[in-house]
C-alpha cells in the first residue's frame, strides 16, 4: 500500500519547478463534483500556477468548485466547459475548444459519473458504457497529441474500477444484455485494454486506470435501484471504517496524476527502477497501470486475465469495435 504520507510527500514536491512544470495544464472531466472536484482542489493546492479545465454539465456546481480552487491558489486559472459528455459529438467539440486554448496537457483526469441505465443515447450507444468507456477513450484519443507534447509530465487517469477487470462479452461489447453483476468486469477490462492501445500510439504518455475505493459522493445521494438504496444505508452505518475520505481521495488522484513512478513506456525520467510500479502486462514501468484504491498495482491474477484477453484477440476486437463506433457516429 502507498500510505497517505508518501502520497502527500510526493504532492508537496510539485511546487519545486525542477521536479514539475510551474504552469501545468489539467483537464478534469467530471470536475464539478465528487472525486473530480476533490482532485481539482488538491491539484490547485499542490501546484504553482495551474490552468485547470473543469468539465461537467452544471454551471452552478462549476462556479462553486472554481471559487474553492481560486481560494486555495489565487495564481491558478480555472475554466469551466459545460457539455453532456455521454455524446461523442460533444466530446469532440469540447476537445476542439481545449485545443484552441492549449498546446499541451499534463494530466487528463476522466472522472465523469454514470447512471445505471440500460437506455441508449441518441448516438445509439448504451448510456452506461458511453459514460464509462466510449466517451473517456474518445477524449483521451482526441487529446493524445497535446498529452504527448507534455511528456515526460503527461498522464491519463481513468477513475473507474482498476483491478476489477473481468470477462469481456465479445458478442455484446456495448453490454446491452450483460447483467449488472457482470458489467463492471466487462467495462473495466475494456478500459484497461483500450488504454494499452492508446499507449502504443503515445508511448511517452502514461496511463493509470484506478479504483478509488468507496468514496461518499453525490453518486450515492441520487435515487435509483433498491440495491443502491440498501448500499446507501449500509454506507451510512459503516462510512468511518469502509470509505476513503474525499480529501484523501483527491490527494491520491493528484499522486496518480503526477508521480513519475507510473512511468511511460518511453522517456521515463525516473532512475530508481525499484520505485516504478508494475504495469498491466506485469512488466515494471510498461506505461499502463491498473491500480487499486491504495495506488498499488493490481494482483497478478488480473495480469493473467489481461494476457489471455490480448492473446485470444479480445483486445483487438474491442479496439476495432470502438473505432467502428466512433466512425459510425462521426458520419451521422
Which parts of this chain interact with ligand NAP (CB under 6 A)?
A: 30-36, 56-58, 61, 84-86, 111-114, 159-161, 211-212, 214-215, 217-219
| The three grid cell numbers given for residue 238, joined into one nine-digit string | 459503516
Per residue in 280-299, is it b (16+ CB within 10 Å) or e — as a string?
beeeebbbbbbbbbebebbe
Which of 14, 110 has the CB closer to ligand NAP? Answer: 110
Return the exposure string of 176-194: e unless at least 16 CB atoms fall within 10 Å of the residue's CB, then b.
eebeeeebbbbbbbbbbbb
Q: How far is the CB of 206 from ligand NAP (least distance, A)?
A: 20
Nearer to ligand NAP, 58 or 330 (CB): 58
CA-based nearest residue to 303, from 276, 283, 277: 283
Cβ at position 242, least distance to ligand NAP in Å: 10
Least spacing, CB of residue 262 vs ligand NAP, in Å: 18
User: Residue 57 or 197: which CB sits closer to ligand NAP?
Assistant: 57
Q: How far is the CB of 173 from ligand NAP (least distance, A)?
A: 19
Between 154 and 215, whose beta carbon lies closer to ligand NAP? 215
**Residue 262's Cα: distance from chain center in Å?**
14
Q: What is the 3-class SS of 149-165, one letter each residue?
A: HCCCCCEEEEECCCCCC
C-alpha cell at 269: 525520467
Nearest distance from residue 285's CB to ligand NAP, in Å? Answer: 26
Q: How many residues does the chain have?
A: 332
Helix H segments across the chain?
4-12, 34-46, 59-72, 88-101, 127-129, 135-142, 144-149, 180-201, 226-242, 246-258, 300-311, 314-330
Q: How far is the CB of 44 from ligand NAP (least distance, A)?
A: 16
What cell numbers appear for 286 in the block? 510498461
Question: In the bound complex, what is the minimum distance in angstroms from residue 23's beta carbon to ligand NAP?
Answer: 24
- Report how far residue 136's alpha carbon sits from residue 309's, in angstroms, rounded to the nearest whole number: 21
Report in angstroms how near the CB of residue 152 gets to ligand NAP at its nearest: 27
Nearer to ligand NAP, 299 or 313 (CB): 299
User: Residue with CB nearest ligand NAP?
Assistant: 34
- Please give the backbone phi and psi of residue 263, each rounded to the nearest 5 degrees, phi first: -75, 150
Q: Which is nearer to ligand NAP, 113 or 260 (CB)?
A: 113
Give, in degrees to the nearest 5, the angle at Cα 273 between 295 and 193. 50
Closer CB to ligand NAP, 108 or 151, in the complex:
108
Nearer Cβ to ligand NAP (161/306): 161
* Cβ pair 183, 169 in contact under 8 A: no
Amino acid at each position: 500500500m502507498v500510505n497517505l504520507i508518501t502520497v502527500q510527500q510526493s504532492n508537496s514536491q510539485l511546487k519545486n519547478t525542477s521536479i514539475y512544470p510551474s504552469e501545468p495544464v489539467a483537464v478534469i472531466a467530471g470536475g464539478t463534483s465528487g472525486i473530480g472536484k476533490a482532485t481539482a482542489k488538491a491539484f490547485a493546492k499542490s501546484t504553482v500556477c495551474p490552468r485547470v479545465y473543469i468539465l461537467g454539465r452544471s454551471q452552478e456546481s462549476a462556479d462553486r468548485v472554481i471559487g474553492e480552487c481560486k481560494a486555495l491558489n489565487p495564481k491558478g486559472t480555472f475554466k469551466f466547459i459545460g457539455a453532456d459528455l455521454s455524446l461523442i459529438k460533444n466530446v469532440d467539440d469540447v476537445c476542439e475548444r481545449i485545443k484552441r486554448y492549449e498546446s499541451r496537457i499534463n494530466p487528463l483526469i476522466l472522472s465523469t459519473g454514470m447512471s445505471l441505465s440500460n437506455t441508449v443515447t441518441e448516438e445509439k450507444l448504451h448510456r452506461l458504457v458511453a459514460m464509462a468507456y466510449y466517451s473517456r477513450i474518445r477524449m483521451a484519443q482526441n487529446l493524445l497529441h497535446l498529452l504527448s507534447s507534455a511528456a515526460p509530465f503527461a498522464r491519463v487517469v481513468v477513475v473507474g474500477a482498476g483491478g476489477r477487470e473481468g470477462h469481456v462479452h465479445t458478442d455484446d461489447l456495448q453490454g446491452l444484455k450483460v447483467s449488472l453483476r457482470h458489467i463492471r468486469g466487462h467495462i473495466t477490462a475494456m478500459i484497461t485494454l483500450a488504454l494499452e492501445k492508446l499507449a502504443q500510439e503515445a508511448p511517452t504518455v502514461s496511463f493509470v486506470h484506478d479504483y478509488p475505493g468507496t468514496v461518499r459522493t453525490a453518486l450515492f445521494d441520487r435515487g435509483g435501484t433498491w440495491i443502491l438504496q440498501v448500499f446507501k444505508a449500509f454506507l451510512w452505518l459503516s462510512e468511518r471504517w469502509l470509505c476513503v475520505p474525499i480529501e484523501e481521495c483527491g490527494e491520491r488522484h493528484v499522486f496518480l496524476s503526477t508521480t513519475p513512478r507510473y512511468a511511460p513506456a518511453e522517456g521515463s525520467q525516473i532512475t530508481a527502477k525499484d520505485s516504478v510500479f508494475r504495469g498491466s502486462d506485469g512488466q515494471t514501468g510498461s506505461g499502463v497501470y491498473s491500480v487499486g484504491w491504495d495506488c498499488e498495482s493490481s494482483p497478478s491474477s488480473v495480469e493473467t486475465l489481461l494476457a489471455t484477453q490480448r492473446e485470444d484477440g479480445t483486445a483487438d476486437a474491442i479496439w476495432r469495435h470502438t473505432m467502428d463506433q466512433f466512425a459510425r457516429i462521426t458520419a451521422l
